[in-house]
Amino acid sequence: FRFKDSLAEDLRKADLVISHAGAGSCLETLEEGKPLIVVINEKLMNNHQLELAQQLHRDGHVLCCNCSTLVETLRSMDLSTLKPFPPGQPEKFALFLDKVVGFQ
């Protein structure tokens, strides 16, 4: 998609998601419980996406490749090896923030 207000409905319907390694795209897909192949754009300078993709891959949540290895990744992938992404716990951050600013 070039631009779309929300991918929520598409994610719910998807059996597999192939995406760049933007934090929002990765987290939204993983929180929906969908298998994810992250395609790294190696041409980005100071590539923070690479760091995120590598960590999610090391943790077993995504498959990771680049444009030149995508086809081979699709051929050899075993989605059963992916680990579910743990749900977020925003209440922990709220409690931490309350302590920091002195509300507790």
Model confidence pLDDT, tens digit, residues 63-100:
999 999 999 999 999 999 999 999 877 787 778 788 88
Q: Give residue 54's Cα distance to chain centre.
A: 10
**Is there a domain that residue 2 lies in?**
no
Specify if 81 maps to a domain: yes
51 is a domain residue: yes
| Residue 73, pLDDT score | 97
User: Strand, helix or coil at 32?
Assistant: coil
- Backbone angle region of 102, left / alpha / beta, with phi > 0 → left and psi within -120 to 50 → alpha: left
Residues spanned by the domain of 73: 7-101
Predicted confidence at residue 33, as pLDDT, reads 95
Q: Is residue 12 part of a domain?
A: yes
CATH number at residue 86: 3.40.50.2000
Q: Where does the chain have alpha helices with state H?
A: 8-13, 23-31, 48-58, 70-76, 90-101
Residue 1 lies in a domain: no
